[in-house]
Chains A and B, each alone.
Chain A
Amino acid sequence: MLSVLIFLPLLAAIVVAFSGANAKKVALIASVIEFAYSVCFYVRFTPTGGTQFLHSQSWIPQLGISFKVGMDGISLLLVMLTTFLVPLIITASFRREYKSPGLFYGLIMMMQFALIGVFVSLDAFLFYIFWELALIPIYLICLMWGGQDRLKITLKFFIYTLAGSLLMLVALIYLWMQTPGTHTFDLQAFYSLHLSSGQQSWLFWMLFLAFAIKMPIFPFHTWQPDTYTDAPAPGTMLLSGIMLKMGVYGLLRWLLPVVPQGVEEWGMTAMILSVIGIVYASLIAWSQKDFKRLIAYSSIAHVGLISAGVFSLTMQGMQGSVIQMLVHGINVVGLFFICDMIEQRTGTRQMEQLGGLRTTAPVFSTYFMIIMLASVALPLTNGFVGEFLLINGVFQYNQLLAAFAGLTIILGAGICLTPIVKLLLALRVQRHTISPRLSFPKKPFSFRSSS
């Protein structure tokens, strides 16, 4: 039952919220059960079977709103990514003590509930509810456990994303009004609408803005670096690992099929914005001094490439974007975990103050290196396939844009080699003192390589 998969995390959230000091363990157990359960779906899934595990139940029949869920290949992959990453994220935070852990881990489970809901909804209203619902726990996580400037930053984040969402709501209501008969929010009904190209072009922007802000695509990205930097590590991982995918998923599920002519008309603009984002964010990332901020900006570059792949409207581009969503989710969570480990032990994320980790923590450094290289998409790492397909797709669409998008390979290498050089190799141990208590154990604890 797909509904069980959706509501299990909600139930877990309530249990976790009241389990006090044991919240971590309860949350971990619950998320592992959830993962195991999602594997059952993976096993039972037939790759050529279209949308499966359909479940439909009328919810607000007067307004044509139903609780309709189901999974196809893209949904399945993203649900698996979610259920896989959440236990990892919880494990990654095991060493840290967050105040009021019940609430903290409860919110994480709540977040998982909303994210899974987003990926399996086949009813626009339901989709919107889950989409918004995902925003509240992450907002509270950033607000209550975030860094110095959290008050302003989280409000900016919330308003930014809410603005996009509300525009999307208007678009969805408009689409609902176009459906025949007593109106329905069913996705299939949206697919079979006959909209004029004028309607499609403004609907495109309403929907695109919501997704572009969430991902984020240049120039709607300004909330992202601050929020990523300021959020507590599990929050950043949730934001970058999974929540960002909501935007890409929205493009694939709700934008392209519903307003194809709009995409035809404005796809080039979206593509150019994505490519600008790649180059721009890469350049900024390169010059960052704060390691976490560097990852945040490089994430904008990555997601720019993913969205460029989507808008290339080629088979390779689409496939690449789906693969890259999965891979980016895993890699970026790994990177933020590394960043958190470093910060926890040395008390700083400033790369200038760090160095020589290779000598103090060789095993850790190896893992670090592997994930970093995966993030650059070196052949034989998980990042390569997706990035290759993506650039291939963009190349088929427009060669000039592909040339710029391809800069990501060079710039990406620059971005990733900087921390490798500064953190692992350079001998700046004198600049900060690693107290013996805080030093790295020979074998990094609880770190399962996720690449």
Chain B
Amino acid sequence: MKTLIILTSIGLVGLFSEIFRIRKILLPVVFIGLIAAIATAVGDWNTNVSYYNDMMVVDNYSLAFSITMIATTFLWFIMSSGFFSDDSNNSDHFALIIFALIGATLMTSFNNMLMLFLGIEILSISMYILAGSNKTSLASNESALKYFLMGSFATGFLLFGIALVYGATASFNITQIAAKIGTGDLQSSWMLYTGILMMMIAMAFKVSAAPFHFWAPDVYQGAPTVITSFMSTVVKTAAVAAFFRLFIHTFAGQPHMWHTTLWVISALTIIVGNILAVYQTNVKRMLAYSSISHAGYMLLAILAMNGSAGSSLLFYAIAYSASSLASFAILLTVSGATGNESIESFYGLGKKNPFVAVMVVISVLSLAGIPPTAGFFAKYYIFATAMQNGLTPLVLIAIAGSLIGVLYYFRLIIAIFRDGDNQAVTPAPLFKVVMVVAAVIALALGIVPGLVVGLL
């Protein structure tokens, strides 16, 4: 709770910083605030308190994901602090990011459908604006509009779903709904059935799972790259965490109503995301498709429905966020130097800048899930968890997906060892920090996964 208050205060400071002319100290304030937020979240560990008449429950699950997302945002701020500096709306962007983070935090700790809805909306509305924050770019505008239209459509589904679930169970409270569902009275309630399916569609929209993924590539590609990196890390983590919390805490009592459907969605997401990524020549778009496929892997944790599912999801989210952020930092560096985001701009990177090349190798290995990186252990952990619930066929599909994944991820590694032009590529010092931190996380969690595995 304190975490949320601190975050809200930073957001407000950001909003008012233009009026009080404290723009220059805004960034330090944001950093200090985020650190304080992480510290309070760590302090709340193992407390498990509920707030506002059970509207929110801050348990270890929500804390772990909140910390992950706040820390990712911290890294994100390091990376993109300079991005908007020549824009007059700099402080607004910062405030919006913080508000999105607040929404994300709510999405991991809701205990009431209303809170879930609020969280998703706070997050989404901030992101609609941020996607269009490059006002002069047509692509950015298109991306924002697309995101907004599709997103509000999904929100409609979510509201319908909540209403129907309320109709069936007469409650918005997660615990009460779960108890009602657990009794088995609603075994054949069409209202609950439809409600759950509609909520699933909405959540699948938010995590960009196939066949509700069509917005993702365009939005990711059109939005400014730093915003895309935020979308594919924090926003994705929040959406998957909320998805998990909703279905495991609430609807786990009636798996026959959603399990098979989600199984198909997960399989489709992995296949579609990976196969379409192979055909991309634009690295940013490729990363967008790759983030779709990663959502598919993360859905495996929801399907697993057992004790270690939350832990495996957390591990995956951390591993994926770190490597994904690093890959966007690399993309920003390279595209900043060459002026485009195509795969050709990576040619010869090994010669031009060995440091960046090493970072490419580490983050790509982690995204592709090759030992000894965190990405491998994340995949292993989630596969093992899923197989314990008899999902071996789906795991085999996921493995086929990983193999296809190697095809396009390794294109980056191959590209950096090709012959290229002699244009210098030099990452900004702050980018280096992000890359190094992400690489350290990728290797440390790959070699000592026990750091995170035992948490949940």
Which residues of A line the B interface, CB within 8 A? 59-63, 128-129, 132-133, 135-136, 140, 143-144, 151, 154-155, 158-159, 162-163, 166-167, 169-170, 173-174, 176-177
Contacts and interface: CB of A to CB of B under 8 A. Distances in A.
B403 A169 contact: no
A44 to B, nearest CB: 29
A270 B450 CA distance: 39
Interface in B210-226: none
B403 A159 contact: yes
Nearest to B414: A151
**Which of A59, A158, A176 gathers most chain B CB within 10 Å?**
A158
A59 B447 CA distance: 9
Contact of B399 (A60, A166, A174, A177): A166
A190 B102 CA distance: 48
**Which of A60, A163, A166 gathers most chain B CB within 10 Å?**
A166
Please classify how large the interface on chain B is, using the bins under 10, 10 to 19, 20 to 34, 35 or more: 20 to 34
Interface of B: 350, 361, 365, 370-372, 376, 380-381, 383-384, 387-388, 392, 395-396, 399, 402-403, 406-407, 410, 413-414, 417-418, 449-450, 453-454
Contacts of A174: 387, 392
Contacts of B350: 144
Contacts of A60: 449-450, 453
Nearest to B413: A143
Given A60-B449, A62-B453, A174-B392, A169 B418 contact: no
A209 B246 CA distance: 40
30 contacts: A60-B450, A60-B453, A61-B450, A62-B450, A62-B453, A62-B454, A63-B381, A63-B384, A63-B453, A132-B371, A133-B372, A136-B365, A143-B413, A143-B417, A144-B417, A151-B418, A158-B406, A158-B410, A159-B407, A162-B370, A163-B403, A169-B380, A169-B399, A170-B395, A170-B396, A170-B399, A173-B380, A174-B392, A176-B384, A177-B384
A140 to B, nearest CB: 8
B100 to A, nearest CB: 33
A-B pairs, top 3 by smallest CB distance, nearest first, are: A132-B371, A166-B399, A173-B384
Mostly, the A contact residues are helix
B352 to A, nearest CB: 14
Contact of A159 (B399, B406, B417): B406
A151 to B, nearest CB: 5
Nearest to B365: A136
Contact of B387 (A135, A162, A173): A173
Contacts of A143: 413-414, 417
Given A128-B371, A166-B402, 5 more contacts: A61-B450, A136-B365, A143-B414, A159-B407, A170-B383
**Which of A61, A163, A169 gathers most chain B CB within 10 Å?**
A169
Contacts of A166: 399, 402-403
A162 B409 CA distance: 14
A132 B414 CA distance: 19
Contacts of B388: 177
Contacts of B371: 128-129, 132-133
